[in-house]
A and B are shown apart, each in its own frame.
Chain A
Amino acid sequence: MAYPAGFKYTKDHEWIDLSGDKGKVGITDYAQQQLGDVVYVELPDVGAKLKQGQSFGTIESVKAVSELYSPVTGEVVEVNAALKDKPETVNADPHASWMIVVKLTNPGEAGALLDATQYQDLIK
């Protein structure tokens, strides 16, 4: 699966799709492959304040439970409630299955994240 060139990526295998001062956050195709069948995604409430690298939820697969880490500092302004009933969409379409939208308080942070090429080098 292709890694969208417009996204930024973390070493923890999250992506962020930035648009203005907001960004949609999800996990990468590589991450969902490692996890296997996702059965539960636990997400924060709207209004939650996150620091870069802080856990914003958990994702549970048949095999294991993993933390989800925020790529940026900011406030959760939207949560993808559809994942609650259809967590398997994270496996089927990971780069479209956004989990939260974060309003960035420090947009400069995003510049230090990996681009698609750097991320694909990381997972080689």
Chain B
Amino acid sequence: MEQAADAALKKTPLNARHRASGAKMVPFGGWDMPVEYSGLSQEHLAVRTRAGLFDVSHMGEIEIAGKDALAAVQRISSNDASKLQVGQAQYSGLLTPTGTFVDDLLVYRLAPAHFLLVVNAGNIPKDYAWIAEQIKGVGDAIAVDASSRYALIALQGPEAVNVLRPLTEVDLAGMKYYWFAHGEVANVRATVSRTGYTGEDGFEVFVPPQSADKVWQAILQAGAAAGVIPCGLGARDTLRLEAGMRLHGNDIDETTTALEADLGWIVGWKKDDFIGAAALREQKASGVTRKIVGFEMLERGIGRHGYDAYVGDAKAGTVTSGTQTPFLKKAIGMAYLPVEHTAVKTEFDVDIRGRRTRARVVPMPFYKRTK
């Protein structure tokens, strides 16, 4: 079937490549994105056993620079950016004053007073407006929406390091998890970071948009013998869920706090002040009343985003993500439950289209790679 392109949707620099390669395209966060290339399960398994290549150029890049850039980042980002050395990155939250999520993000320290924030595609204008407003009082610091200057390609899987190595002088093997370096990839100026959203080893490669296709093709060619295949957002979602990673808009949003989302580890408790600090400190002292859990279905069916969770006959919470995972071959998900029902092995019911279906709380992540 011909797939009509919606003119209102934004396109990454690799859009023509996806369409020419026969990927199934869907609208996502205002973008025309590949959801599937050869098949979700096949792509998922490729990443777990070999490697897969993702176009994540829809993600936003916001740079903060100026003499007081660190102070600005410390104000808007929940994690402690003072711990970052140049060349290092961290996961963090962009929080509201009540400690809930405007977005989640990665913070890269490019230089002592120059940071790169990678944010979710659908939130770019909202995040940028929020950040620009919130750092106004912080002296010499400016935020720039640099999203159009970057294409972002993710190579994820145990073979990623071997596939990328012949294409770059960057010392990949010596790069630690959540560190990055600048260099060339396939003769294109790039920033390579050992990060990802799959729970697997791998790299994310920032390149200029006009060179994205060249790098994409070079990686696929270099990885052909190792079985590297292009992957879509469908596999990206099942992979991140298996790895227990939160998805903004599903598992975290402006109604859920960092503590309820069990993300206290991205809160810089020793920092002086940041947006949401007071609310989170208070909530930490008094204790949360509900919390996110990982669950697996004990009966057939998938508990999906928005389905109600029941303890006995009472509605007790909501499922925020759910899928059947191709690798673990189980139906898993995340849900918010009252804190007294969040212990591992606690059983509850998910209302799957009118059918109460048994589920059990399990530890997250569901999948952890062997190093």
Residue ranges of A at the interface with B (Cβ–Cβ < 8 Å): 36-37, 39-40, 42, 58, 60, 62-63, 65, 84, 123-124
Q: A39-B331, A124-B1 are in contact. Are A60 and B301 (CB under 8 A)?
A: yes
B126 in contact (CB, < 8 A) = no
If A36-B39, A39-B331 touch, whether A62 touches B323 (CB-CB below 8 Å) is: yes
Q: Chain A residues near B252: list those with CB within 8 A.
A: none
**In the complex, number of A-B residue pairs with CB atoms less than 8 Å apart:** 36
Interface size on B, residues (CB 8 A): 17
Q: Which residues of B contact A63 (CB under 8 A)?
A: 40, 234
B302 at the interface (CB under 8 A from A): yes
Write the B315-335 contact mask toward A (1 if CB under 8 angstroms, else 0): 000000001101000010000
- Docked complex: B299-358 residues within 8 A CB-CB of A: 300-302, 304, 323-324, 326, 331, 353, 355
Annotate B258-272 by CB proximity to A: 1 below 8 A, 0 otherwise: 000000000000000
Closest to A41 in B: B300
Would A37 and B326 count as touching, CB distance under 8 A? yes
Option from B238, B300, B324 in Cβ contact (under 8 Å) with A84: B300
8 Å CB contacts to A: which residues of B144-167? Answer: none
Given A37-B41, A39-B300, A84-B300, the answer on whether A62 and B1 have CB atoms closer than 8 Å is no
Q: How far is the CB of A59 from chain B (nearest CB, A)?
A: 12
A124 contacts across to B, CB distance below 8 A: 1
Q: What are 17 inter-chain pairs, A to B, with CB distance below 8 A?
A: A36-B36, A36-B41, A37-B41, A37-B324, A37-B326, A39-B300, A42-B353, A42-B355, A60-B301, A60-B302, A62-B238, A62-B323, A63-B234, A65-B304, A65-B353, A123-B1, A124-B1
Closest 8 CB pairs between A and B? A39-B324, A62-B324, A40-B300, A40-B301, A37-B41, A36-B40, A62-B40, A60-B302
CB-CB under 8 A from A40, the residues of chain B are 300-302
What residues of chain B lie closer than 8 Å to A36, measured between beta carbons? 36, 39-41
Q: Tell me which residues across on chain B come within 8 A of A84, comparing CB atoms.
A: 300
Minimum Cβ distance to chain A for residue B296 (Å): 13
Q: Is the CB of A62 within 8 A of B41?
A: yes
| Complex-state Cα separation, A36 to B324, whole angstroms | 12
Q: How far is the CB of A99 from chain B (nearest CB, A)?
A: 15
The answer for the CA separation of A84 and B302 in the assembled complex, in Å, is: 14
- Cα distance A37–B353 in the bound complex, in angstroms: 19
Chain B residues closer than 8 Å to A123, beta-carbon distance: 1
Give residues 222-253 of B contacting A (CB, 8 Å). Answer: 234, 238
Contact at A62–B326, with CB atoms within 8 Å? Answer: yes
Bound Cα distance from A63 to B44, whole angstroms: 13
Residues on B with beta carbons closer than 8 Å to the beta carbon of A60: 301-302
Residue from B40, B304, B324 with most neighbouring chain A CB atoms (10 Å)? B324
